[in-house]
Structure 1
């Protein structure tokens, strides 16, 4: 065409997915020319699909791990939909659907008890663990899906134990409500991580659309499976086992695909140990795949961040001594007999101060429980501290406390700079401190 040799007046793009040029025509009008006109129909269909099921601006508007996570999340949702259908069929059979001797009142009472137990469990679980779900979103997400599979198994087996049917479905309902709280809360935490353009609502809505589509596919498959499973327990159990294995594997791959840049205790422990051993801080892409996914793992000392002062100090002398030996933003206390580290945070302690306090606790853990001879950063100082702490475990050695604080003060600036350079976010964290804060004074004036 004559205008093909004319340079375009401008180029327009829609994210990274589509580009087109505007060229002038002889009559003075503008013509829009796609980069590859032969793919226009394919692009139109693909763009419609992506606009329905993916956040606007994908892939720039989401985190780099979004696609891998969503693929495995789709697989696990399909497997869960199938096993959920098996459980629903078993529960309906257990409450008397199709049994002429059963009454509507008995079935209704069973359902009310099941739902009521679950509601109470939901409240209690949110009260006891709600503040921990953000900190360990991957671990709680995996826990929730494992517990969901246990609940489904209980519902499938419940009709085989008619005398205990109501008790079994009530416990199953309790588990499912816990799954609802843990799964919903961790999904929100992961959505916040994935949303990169203040588009958390869009990411969450499109995630819901993806899950709805998968559940529709699961329902269609279930329509073909239900007639085959009506009176075939062996096939029901076999399908449950097959789809449960797929469900757990897909969930493991989904949470393992998530690469979070905020520090929780597990990730801070990994990067601090790597820094002490090699003198450099690994980035999120290196640390996340090594993060343990089982709750409570790799914790050798109990750590209380934001501890109330009265739980660690019983005399003014101890308080004054702690002020002399600790940082201006936190006070550090270690009970070796109870293997507990308690950190009292200052009223004005910020995110970096909390990271430093947690690093102090993890450094204490490393000195007590690790082979510090393998470390390259401050190895001689660490070896001396380890010998002193292991030599007199029952004695409060304020000199060791002071040396540990001085050591941390020396290495933390380089560690913090390494965190920032490696891509970690330090202006907020997921270390989960308690809300207790203390405003102390030194020398008759504010310390800050």
Structure 2
């Protein structure tokens, strides 16, 4: 099988790394890829927002199967266009991708199928959004309705902070994504993510993970696309898992099918574990980043048959096996991220670090001859296995400390909640 992965981040490097291990794969391409993906695949320097160019490249390289990574391409309907060209594709439809592409779409689905989530209001002008805020008070959560690269959410602890977030959205801080705003109640509890594969009918649960969204230690600083993660998340007990599947995931898959927009892909449920039980924070219509990195490190099974079964509606009866270990990833980012940051600084000490228990997935990197350069905000994902979260954390930070990159930074406390519980 000849496979092409779409995307250029750490998620796509992790997917390509795992796909490359499959005996079913004869040739692997990544479009456009990064400085790390070229170690496991052939990079194709194409504009993935140009669907015709993606399809032309797939046809030129006789691709049998395309795996779409990024949320923007899911929401833009790249999967639909690839399938229309007669090529099998792992990617939800554009209509189903609204589960991530529109917060209000998901909220309406929750209302219709009685899926527990935060109380909310949706607004298309600043005045009505502010009026609602003043009736609710703080803490409160302000969300741009559309995609905003993980940065369109403000957990406001004061009315003033919430006001600023609303004004920013309607002033164009997130472009068209902020043209409407969803305001949610602040849910008290611990966040956890559950991933499942579904072909629109059958559901294959994958695993759990916990992400770290804030930029700095102690969960302080601005929201980011994610500064680290670990998997599995022991806080997700069997009882909570069963309740989540029965009340959140299964009604979503069933409801999407009933609406005539079946969801086929990986469904990523961001959950809040409240005193009243698990509630949906939001859905993502793709593998998480950086959660994908820890999942791929732990996955024992060949991923290619699973992804292909989703794409071809044959997921029923499939199984997945996991290593009996924890995985933890630390994101190394360019100073200034998630705000303004520079590009082009040299990174040394990465090549040769990988071993059976540690892999450095690249995100925002590019090669310049023998030099490895930073080319983005989140740049490297240092990912390690261990018998405990603490052991995986120690291994990952040993990897971080072996990398020479003065212009980079990372959090030093990834996994802190579970490590505190481990004692």
Q: Structure 1-normalised TM-score? A: 0.22
The structure with the greater share of residues assigned to helix is 1
Which has the higher Rg, Structure 1 or Structure 2? 1
